[in-house]
A and B are shown apart, each in its own frame.
Chain A
């Protein structure tokens, strides 16, 4: 069990913490860096999520403030007991002209893991939200296959009160068999979704550049004004990072948190 809350406010050009709470296995660190952006690093001291665990993360970037969030290590969805499900619920709020970068490291799905995860974002139209969610299918180094898993990974973004984007990745049962299929993952061992919700001219300005950075197994689209979305698949998490880092560096408009440096 764990809960964490981070809130920021702008103090002139500087972003400062306005609230911070954490309990259970979740902690938040704030490495020193660019004072205009506050970087918070979540640490799950339990090392992962197992069936029955429940993590709750909340963050709010106040008007004109800029908050970057990442995780200290890859999250692990451990093997779960039958009928038990690990839950991670994240709620992010972006006020007027705020910026929030949600840049967690990979989530590794172990064989027989059961994870239900939700990311709910509520943002002002003038705000800027960048997201990446990398997933790794099994512990490749151990040659692990996802013979059984139950993943439900949902993202919902509300902008100015109306639903802008929804996605829910679902894998059930013999995921490896499914992931081998050509319309699904073509045998990929890792995948990421990348999303930028930003004022229309800015989102559009990245389209060509991000397209040029896509591998054969990745695509990007300006789904509607102010909404850029990419899916990238790769044989493993290392290759995935090689594709992701230039994309995220471009969209982040600044150096990535140190947790993203290879």
Chain B
């Protein structure tokens, strides 16, 4: 069964090694951890506006969004073929899982989209600003 599983995933088993994380991991480290300058420097501190709070919310949604998209893709494949899933399940009846995964994914997908739209609506300005600025550098 493990062979079938890794084929189905396309990437195979094994651990992905990355020198740096994606934006989600980066945010987790550099916004919440590390030495805080205010503790050490008082007089010459320059207070700079940080827009990272918004970034964090958007990133969380994007990550979720992408995962749902991926999950849906997979499910589309199964629905066409049906066989992959059966093999992968190793004994479980097909229609039970198909229905289950589909139902759950659809619900989460809707929720994810609502969240995303909500954020897009309020954060459009910030996003445009950062996009145009970062391009210059």
Bound together: no
Point out residues on A near B: beta carbons under 8 Å: none
